[in-house]
Each structure stands twice: as C-alpha cells, then as structure tokens.
Amino acid sequence: MHFQFYRTPDIIFGQGVLKQLPELISRYGKAALVVTGAASFQASGFWERLNQSCSEIGIKLFHEACAMEPSARMVDDIRDMYQSQGVAAVVGIGGGSVIDGAKAVSAMLGKTDSVIEYLEGVGHKTPDGSKIPFIALPTTSGTGSEATKNAVISEVGPKGFKKSLRHDNFVPDLALVDPRLMLTCPAGVTAACGMDAFTQLLEAYLSPKSGPLLDALLLDGLEKIHRYFMRSISDGSDMEARSAMAYAALISGIGLANAGLGVVHGFASPIGGLFKIPHGVVCGTLMAPATGVNVRKAISGGPVWAAEKYARVGRLFSEVGEKPAEFYCHQLVEKLEAWTRELGIPHLNDFGITENDLPKIIDQTGLKNNPVALNRNDLKEILRTRIK
C-alpha cells in the first residue's frame, strides 16, 4: 500500500453557510475583491445581503465579473486594477471558470509580470506559491475548483491553449459550499456540470495514483451521482439533490488534486484551447466512448485492478447483484450511453470539430493518469464516435 493525500481547503458545507462569509473575510482584513460570474449572483438577493452585512462590520468590497473562461489578459488586467487597493482577500463566487479566475488573481496580486509566464507548458517561470488569501464559493456542481491547487487559463484559437497555473499553496484557504446558491442553476448547465463532476470522480478513482483513503471518498461521491444526478436536472429546486451534487463536485475536486485525471480530461485541454466548447460538454460527450475503450482494454489484458474498479462502479450504478465482473463493466458503459442520449449531449461537430482536426487534438492529449495504455488509433476511435 502506497499513496499520498494532499491538503484540502478548510471546508464549511451546508445550507445557509454563505452568511458566515463577512466574518470569515474579516479574519484577513477590511477589504476584499469579489469575483463573480456575469450577472446571476449580482441579481440575486444573496449579493445585496452580502454587501450589507460586510458594510455593517466595516469591510469594503471591490467587485469584478468573469463572464467567460478566464484568459491571461483578464487575470492580468484585474491584478493591475487592484494591486494598490489594499485587498486582504480574494473571494470567488461562481462556477469553475469564475473560481479559477479568482484563484489566479489571488496568486498574481503580488506579481508584476503576466500570469502566462507561469502556466504549465506555456510559460517559463515556476510559481513560488505566494498569494493573497483566497475563499471559494461554488454556484455550480461541476469542476470542484474549490478544492484544487490549479487554475485553468484559456486562450481559444488556432494556436490556443488551456493550461494550469498550479502550486500546492493555490488550494483555496477556505471552501464555503452553500447548496442554496445552486438552486437557480439552469437544467442544461446542471447536466454539463454534473457530467464534469462524474468524469472527475471516475477518472480519479481509476487513476494509478489513487489510494484507499481517496477511493473511499470517490466511491461516496459516485454513489451521490448515481442517486441524485438526474434528480438535480429534472427538479432544480430539490434541495436534497442539490446538496448531494454539491458534495459530489467537492469530492471530485479533491480527487483531481490528489490523483489526477484520465483520457477525457486529456482531450479536454486541447479541445478547449482550439475550439469554443464548454468544458462540461467535452466531458459529457466523450465519457461514454472513452469508458468503453478503457473497459475493453482493461478486460483484455489491462491491469486487473482497473477492471475490478470499473466493475465496482458498474455494480453501484446497475444495482444488479450476483453477476460476473465483466457484466458490470459493460453495464457502466451502457449507463453512460443512456445518459448521453437522454441528456441530448451535443456532438463534437456541433462545435466545428471535424475529422481533419483529430490529429492535432491527439498530438496534444495527455494520458499520464489513464488506467490503461491507449494508442493513437484508440484515441481516434473515441473522438470519431462523437462526430456524426
């Protein structure tokens, strides 16, 4: 037995915990930069009450919106605006992109050069881990960025990239997870984010870097996906389902931080850099074919532990007892194919991806934490499945 388990943020989870935010900010100082999404949180009663509560205890709030996946220029511009404003803490309230953007700003407020210089595979400098204290409040149940040490920065285009600013110290100081903030999340976004969380849970569970402690958490998260994913889509006001999915997403972030991810997220990096496509859609559309190829390889000569783990998840999702392990592996693939159909997840070509784009995607696809070895033909098979 050999494994590592890295630190998590301090975690406060539950309905209504948002009201603790002013007092938590005050532990760091009297001024905070709040980064939110384009409009939804500001339009809610939560934002008005937060402003009022902070004002009552003498905390000044600055505000910036992150309307899309954060770019290097956006991070640099926000940093430049607030570097001399005495910001004692940065707060990210939103989906994964918002939290990533705010996380990067907290890391760059003490720097004068561009964040692009510190991105893996793009820049030429190594982050030193210094940052302004950072608090993360997710409003979607997807990326689990509230528990990770990386911030994904994107530049979309022919020479685009989707790369991480990463350091162990960039794990948020505090993750404040209030499922009430997810109640108004639209069904389509809920579905895409839920598929992202599921993908991270399964890929981390199948990673060679996982261990018994992390496995226990990941299986618990997968059980929540099985029971509550479709419920959270069909009835967004279902607080039990929203809470379970918020928990699953949090655990998926812990999984990512500790074990890394597999081929689906290996694809997501180049696809997200080359094409304007939501991250959750990439995960959702590729999860079934990728799992199908991985399962086939695991059963036919792959690591025994990988086949056993796929079977364990398949048994959880099928709720059928006393069958051979191979049956449960195929049940898992069939469940994912059914979700893909039921949710109407778009194909890759809906975002302009063609057969001619596959070689450049494959060239940039990482596989270091995939449970089985995949060759270029395997990768092409997965992608082709989602081009109609």
Provide the pLDDT for residue 118.
97
Strands 174-177 and 31-36 turn out to be unpaired
pTM for the model? 0.95
- On whether the CB atoms of residues 172 and 135 are closer than 8 A, the answer is yes
Residue 28: pLDDT over 90:
yes
**pLDDT digits 0-9 by tens, 188-240:** 999 999 999 999 999 999 999 999 999 999 999 999 999 999 999 999 999 99
Q: Is the pLDDT of residue 147 over 80?
A: yes
User: Given this model, what pLDDT does residue 68 score?
Assistant: 86
Give the per-residue pLDDT at 110. 92
Instruction: Report how many helices (DSSP H) and strands (DSSP E) the chain contains, helices first.
Output: 13, 8
Cβ–Cβ < 8 Å for 259, 219 = no
Listed by start position, the domains of the chain span: 10-182, 187-385
Biggest CA pair distance of the chain: 65
Q: Choose the CATH number for 10-182 among 3.40.50.1970, 1.20.1440.230, 3.40.50.300, 1.10.510.10.
A: 3.40.50.1970
Cα–Cα distance measured from residue 96 to residue 144, given in angstroms and rounded to the nearest whole number: 7
Q: How confident is the model at residue 77 (pLDDT cuts 50, 70, 90)?
A: very high
Residue 388 has pLDDT above 90, yes or no: no
- Window from 43-52, 217-226, 255-264 with minimum mean pLDDT: 43-52
The arithmetic mean of pLDDT across residues 86-110, rounded, is: 96
At 279-308, the pLDDT tens digits run: 999 999 999 999 999 999 999 988 999 999
Summarize the confidence of residues 58-67 as an average pLDDT. Answer: 93
Report the percentage of the chain scoring pLDDT > 90.
Answer: 89
CA distance 148 to 146: 6
Q: Which of 152, 177, 162 is nearest to 269 (CA)?
A: 162
What's the pLDDT band for 44 if we cut at 50, 70, 90? confident
| 10-182 and 187-385 have identical folds | no
Strands 89-94 and 31-36: parallel
Tens digit of each residue's pLDDT (9 = 90 or more) over 314-352: 999 998 888 999 999 999 999 999 999 999 999 999 999
The correct CATH number of 187-385 out of 1.20.1090.10, 3.20.20.140, 1.10.1370.30, 1.10.287.3610 is: 1.20.1090.10
Q: Give 14's pLDDT tier (boundaries 50, 70, 90).
A: very high
If pLDDT is split at 50, 70 and 90, which confidence band does 41 have?
A: confident
Tell me: pLDDT of 39 over 80.
no
What pLDDT sits at residue 67? Answer: 84
Map residue 92 onto helix, strand or coil: strand
- On whether the CB atoms of residues 256 and 363 are closer than 8 A, the answer is no
- What pLDDT is stored for residue 382 in this prediction? 97
Mean pLDDT across the chain: 95
